[in-house]
Amino acid sequence: MLELIREPWPWYIAGPLVGLTVPALLIIGNKAFGISASLRHTCAMCLPANIKFFKYDWKKEIWNMFFVFGILLGGVIAYSFLSNPNPIIIDGNLQTELAGYGITEIYGMLPEQLFSWESLFTLKGFFMMVVGGFFIGFGSRYAGGCTSGHAISGLSNLQLPSLIATCCFFIGGLIMANIILPFILSL
């Protein structure tokens, strides 16, 4: 059983499990699934300033903080006790392409040559972590939610803004992966 948990689950098992979270939240507590709102709740909780955006009853949304804490705790447990010690298997063509950008050590989900404290202070690392993080935060605020909120919860509720946001997320991801990322990696 432990070996089954350590392996990646196929889409037809993991997808429905994630998808069933949306109706479960709606049926059990009339709550909408989303993660980026937890940052707003954290700021409202920790920074009691006179900022209109943070002036609301965040205590009604405390369930979201527990949900995010559960995600973090699950990630720590999975990484600490259920990590697969074998290297990640990627296609040979992708390995060759990544080697052309100087990325040769791929042992985890994130290559240490891009995502580490040492690489943070390089131009490539700064763009990947700081500028990329800014754009993700700005984009989720500008879109009124993150990919999980729009693509999972919003689409299942047939919301047109979520369909538009999800299409834009995918278009942005394609542009990033095929045009911008190769440029950044070549720096």
Domain for residue 65, yes or no?
Answer: yes
Give the number of domains in the chain.
2
Count of positions (residues) in the chain: 187
* 120 and 68 together in one domain: no
Please report, in tens digits, the pLDDT of each residue of the chain (187 residues total). 777 777 778 889 988 888 888 888 888 888 877 788 888 888 888 877 788 888 888 888 888 889 889 989 998 998 888 877 777 788 899 889 888 888 888 777 788 888 889 889 999 989 999 999 999 888 888 888 888 888 888 888 889 999 999 999 999 999 999 999 999 988 8
The pLDDT of residue 179: 94
Domain for residue 148, yes or no?
Answer: yes
Domain for residue 161, yes or no?
Answer: yes
* 3 and 78 together in one domain: yes
- Tell me the residue range of the domain where 41 lies: 1-82
Domain for residue 170, yes or no?
Answer: yes
- Which residue, 82, 104, 125, sits at the end of a domain? 82
Nearest Cα neighbor of 32 from 162, 187, 186, 175 is 162
The pLDDT of residue 86: 75
Which residue has 């209109």 as its token pair?
52
* 138 and 180 together in one domain: yes
At a CB cut-off of 8 Å and minimum separation 6, what does 150 contact?
Answer: 143, 144, 159, 161, 162, 165, 166, 169
Domain for residue 87, yes or no?
Answer: no
- Which residue, 30, 61, 82, sits at the end of a domain? 82
Domain for residue 172, yes or no?
Answer: yes
The pLDDT of residue 176: 93
The pLDDT of residue 126: 92
Domain for residue 97, yes or no?
Answer: no
> Cα 154–79–178 angle (5° rounding)?
55
The pLDDT of residue 22: 81
* 4 and 55 together in one domain: yes
* 70 and 18 together in one domain: yes
The pLDDT of residue 166: 92
Q: In Å, what is the CA distance from 101 to each residue of 19, 118, 145, 172, 183? A: 36, 17, 33, 22, 10
The pLDDT of residue 173: 92
* 77 and 145 together in one domain: no
